Amino acid sequence: MSGHSPVNTVLVTGAAGFIGSHLCDKLARVGKAVIGVDNFDPYYARIEKEHNVECLRRAGADFRESDIRSYGDIASLIDVTRPEVVVHLAAKPGVRNSVKFPRQYFETNLLGTQNVLDSCRALGVERMVLASTSSVYGNTKRIPFEEDDPCVEPLHPYAASKRSTELLAGTYARLYGLQISVMRFFTVYGERGRPDMMPRLLLNSLTTGAPVNLYEGPLERDWTHVSDIVRGLAAAVDRPLGFEILNLGRGQPVPLSGFISELERVSGKQANLVSAPRPDSEMLSTYASTDKLNRLLGYQPEVSIQEGVEALWEWWQAYTARDR
């Protein structure tokens, strides 16, 4: 069940997003037929996502606009395209936004995932890779985070919605024989990152002087470059494991202050940081145990913080130059 089993056709939900567009790009460039789908959720500007779609199309991936909140839409798309694997990345993002609008997160993240699972079950797609998050661990006392942690105290509705999708996926795997690899992402950063995420806020501050809230901590994160996340996802696409939950991170947490210092070093500029109290929804630390990931997928992260930050700054300079 855990042998290498390459596939030819992959459907990726959330394809216009940060991670989704990078994954479509990678899978298409290694010769897979890739169908990306996204509904352009207005959480952030559509123009950002349209740029991502341009990138994946240049790599040779197809793209369709559709909404996982509609069972009919996603079932029809799977019926037409007949993928061998569905990589389900589509989700409503944003920790603090989920505290304000929790219903939206369960409608998209949980019920949307059920639509994808039901479509796969009805149409004979037996394999799925499902995106989850390190946020499900909450303020666990088990450090580093290990996949068998019960994860019963999420700190915000986003994490609760993603933990719910994990449980639902496990139920479908046991009842209906689906093979699902759940990948818990750890603090992803890199080129084309979302504008609301800390790396983009810092980049904007470095170039414009805009203030950025720096929460009282100290905070540390298991910063993982998007290329390493994508390599892990691609490995999961080609290796069915039954039902497994895997941490996908570097396994080397770095203080937020250290990440900021590295960005300031690379850019030669200083961010405008404003001290702010830490919200109850904010985790103090994320730290992935990657032993299981290495054992089952043979995965090791490749991009150091220094290399990742340098690539991020190089991209940002090119990105902002487009508007000049």
Pairing of strands 254-255, 220-221: antiparallel
Closest CA to 228 of 304, 147, 133: 304
**Tokens representing residue 210 in the block:** 């805009």
Catalytic, 137? Answer: no
How far apart, in Å, are the Cα atoms of 146 and each of 181, 246, 249, 291?
A: 15, 9, 12, 9
Task: Please classify residue 31 by burial: count the beta carbons closer than 10 Å to its beta carbon, then call 0-12 exposed, 13-18 middle and 19+ buried.
Answer: exposed
- CB–CB of 120/245 below 8 Å? no
**What letter represents residue 58's amino acid?**
R
Other Cβ atoms less than 10 A from the Cβ of 159: the count is: 24
Task: Please classify residue 180 by burial: count the beta carbons closer than 10 Å to its beta carbon, then call 0-12 exposed, 13-18 middle and 19+ buried.
Answer: buried
Angle at the Cα of 230 from the Cα atoms of 135 and 183, rounded to 5 degrees: 35
303 SS3 class: coil
Q: Cα(106)–Cα(161) distance, rounded to whole angstroms?
A: 6
Closest CA to 116 of 13, 21, 233: 13
Find the catalytic residue in 158, 172, 189, 299: 158
Q: Which residues are catalytic?
A: 158
